[in-house]
Chains A and B, each alone.
Chain A
Amino acid sequence: KQEVTQIPAALSVPEGENLVLNCSFTDSAIYNLQWFRQDPGKGLTSLLLIQSSQREQTSGRLNASLDKSSGRSTLYIAASQPGDSATYLCAVNDSGGKLIFGQGTELSVKP
C-alpha cells in the first residue's frame, strides 16, 4: 500500500531564504509525482508535475526533483517571499490512477 510522508510538518523561515521541502513514498511504481500549494480555506493549486521518467521540473523559483528508486522528491524554493506562505502538498499518482497525498508542510515566510 502506497504511503506518502512529508517532512517537516511545519517550517518558518525569514524572507529571502532558500528552502527545501521533502517528500518520500513507499512504492516506486508511480506514474508521476505532483506538488500542490494550498492556501487557508482554499482549494489546491498545482505547482509542478514530474513524470516517472523525469528527474526534475522547474517553474520560476520552484524546482522539484524526483528519485524514484529511493522513493524521494524535494521541492526547492529559491529566495522565499511572504507570499509563498501556504501548505505544500506532495502527491504520487500510482498505478491505480489516483493521487495519494502526504500530510503537507505548512510554510511560513516572515517579512
Chain B
Amino acid sequence: DTAVSQTPKYLVTQMGNDKSIKCEQNLGHDTMYWYKQDSKKFLKIMFSYNNKELIINETVPNRFSPKSPDKAHLNLHINSLELGDSAVYFCASSQDISGASGTDTQYFGPGTRLTVL
C-alpha cells in the first residue's frame, strides 16, 4: 500500500496550459506539503496545509493554487504554465505541523515530473 501517492507520474504539456497534480496520503496525517525540485536537484517547499488550512505559502507565483478538499488530499493546480515550471513536484505528509513536537518526519510521494514545452 502506497503511503503518499501522486498522479500523474509524468506530465508533458505546452506553455500556457493549465494542469493539476493530485496527491493522496493514507497515513491519517494532518499536514501535507508541496515541494519543487528543480533541474539542479534543489528541493524547496512551496506550500503546507494543516487540517485543510494553508499554513505555509512560500514565495510562489499565484499561478500555483493548492486545494485541500480533505485532510487526505492536497492537489496542486497550475495556471498558464511557463517553461520555468518544468521540475519534479513532490507531495509529502506528516502527522502534525513538522516541528511542533520536534519529532515529526515527513513522508514523500514518488514525485511528478512536469515538462513544459
Contact = CB atoms under 8 A, between A and B. Distances in A.
* A associates with B: yes
Interface of A: 31-32, 34, 36, 41-46, 49, 51-53, 87, 89, 91, 93-101, 103-104
Q: Max chain B CB contacts within 10 Å: which of A42, A44, A101?
A: A44
Nearest to A50: B102
Interface string B88-117: 001010000111101101111111000000
Contact of A97 (B56, B92, B103): B56
A98 B107 contact: no
A31 B98 contact: yes
A49 B99 contact: no
A51 B45 CA distance: 20
A32 B99 contact: yes
A46 B111 contact: no
A21 to B, nearest CB: 15
Contacts of A93: 98-99
Nearest to B9: A41
Contacts of B98: 31, 93, 97-99
Nearest to A93: B99
B27 interface: no
A24 to B, nearest CB: 16
Contacts of B107: 46
B110 A32 contact: no
Contacts of A53: 102
